[in-house]
Amino acid sequence: MIKAVFFDIDGTLVSFQTHQIPAGTLETLRTLKAQGVYLFIATGRGKEGLSCLEDFPFDGYITLNGQYCYTNDGTVIYENTIPKEDISVLLQELKRRPFACGITLRDGKIYNQRTEQVEELHRMTKNDGQPAGDISHMDEESVYQVQAFINDEEEKKLMAR
């Protein structure tokens, strides 16, 4: 029988207070691995947000809420990107009415602007380092997620397009 355990990061493996894996948890992970249990991460974070795992050798990673999944040796098991046509619509909308937006690629994220909303997100997660820059060419990239810092009404209008 194959045994596997899947872990979230924030508030599960990694403390919200220390932003680290507690020593007792690391010991338990090592014990499980020694018993032949496969250990996986399942998170909304991308690869750039996994440094808090302290290089523990998990067997695989389900990242970006399932959009990019790979094994410890880097073998991609599954990936699902947003259609380029949808990204083109987003870019058109940003030209028409700019708002803060994060674009998640395989190995990182880029924001069109770093607003207070973006900064607050990073203060909470301690997962910063993503730059602000030009996202106008993102319809040529493989985009896994978009964070649009807009209200519910604006989201409905954007999604209708």
Domain ranges of the chain: 4-79, 84-160
Give me the pLDDT at residue 149, please: 87
Chain-centre distance for alpha carbon 147: 10
pLDDT band, residue 31 (cuts 50/70/90): very high
**29-44 burial, b for 16+ CB within 10 Å, e for fewer?**
beeebeeeeebbbbbb
Distance CA(154)–CA(161), nearest Å, equals 11
pLDDT: which is higher, 137 or 28 = 28
pLDDT more than 70, % of the chain: 94
Class of domain 4-79: alpha beta
**Which fold, 84-160?**
3.30.1240
pTM of the model: 0.79
How do residues 71-122 score in pLDDT, each as one tens digit?
999 999 999 999 999 999 999 999 998 898 989 998 888 888 877 777 777 6
Give the mean model confidence (pLDDT) for residues 130-135.
77
Question: Do the two domains 4-79 and 84-160 of this chain adopt the same fold?
Answer: no
Locate 64 and state its tokens: 């970006």
Using the structure block, give the residue that is written with the tokens 């998170």. 43
Look up residue 45 and give its two tokens.
Answer: 């974070």
Question: What token pair was written down for 117?
Answer: 């909303």
Rg value, the chain, Cα: 18
**Across 17-43, average pLDDT:** 93
pLDDT (0 to 100) of residue 128: 61
pLDDT attached to residue 143: 96
